[in-house]
Structure 1
Amino acid sequence: MKIKSFSGILFACYIGTFLRAFINNSLVVSIFGSFFFGFVIAKRLSYSREKIMLNGFFSSFTSFSGFIYFLYKIFNQGDWIKFIISFNSIIIINLFTMYFGFWISRKIT
């Protein structure tokens, strides 16, 4: 990997983390991240730009740890039905949101 790409990924991680610090809702961040992730995938960017956006920005902006912590709290309460419904609904909502971003991006170009 070239040093320019590596520094771009580090900068994108910084921006993603900085933005994530101001939004305290994991579901909102996850939905925005999924939408723009699908949008970027459909754009067919160069390899280095795609790595900067997907591996740098979105991996820092969307919070898998926030998602897991939310599910962990439900799991510790012993509410299995709520846990299963929350887990599946979050995954399904994010997949549809990502596809919608992909679809919108294809319609624009």
Structure 2
Amino acid sequence: MKINNFIYILLTAYLATFLRLTINNNFLISIIGSFLVGFLISKRLSNSIEKILLSGFFSCFTSFSGFIYFLYKILDQGEWIKFIIFFNLIIIVNLFTMLFGFLISRKIT
């Protein structure tokens, strides 16, 4: 991979982190990120642009650690049923949101 691509990945990661801190809502971020990932994967992007967006931007924007921290706070309170519901709900909603973004992108083009 070229050095320019590393720089672009760093810049997009910085932008994604800034946006994540600005929005400050894990659920909303995961929905927006899932929709946009679904939208983008339906496009035929070059390998380097795909790596820059998916590895740089979306890995920082929709960070897994935010999801895990949210679930940890529920578990720490001892609410197992709420944990199981939220865990499954978040994954299912994000998968369908990603599929929706994918389908919308296909309809547009």
Normalising by structure 2, report the TM-score.
0.97
| Paired position in structure 2 for 1:75 | 75
- Cα distance in structure 1, aligned partners of 2:47 and 2:9: 12
The residue that corresponds to 2:34 in the other structure is 34
2:84 match: 84
Q: Percent identity?
A: 70
Deviations 1:18-67 (A, max 9, x none): 11110111000000000000111001200000001100000111121111
Secondary structure of 1:39's counterpart equals: helix
Does 2:64 align with 1:64? yes
Stretches of structure 2 that go unaligned for 5 or more consecutive residues are: none
Q: Number of residue pairs matched?
A: 109
Distance in 2 between the 1:22 and 1:84 partners?
28
Query: How far does residue 80 in structure 1 lie from its aligned partner after superposition?
Result: 1.0
Q: How far off its partner does 1:99 sit?
A: 0.4
- 5+ residue gaps, structure 1: none
Question: TM-score, length-normalised on structure 1?
Answer: 0.97
Alpha-carbon distance in 1 for matches of 2:6, 2:73: 36
**Equivalent residue number for residue 105 of structure 1:** 105
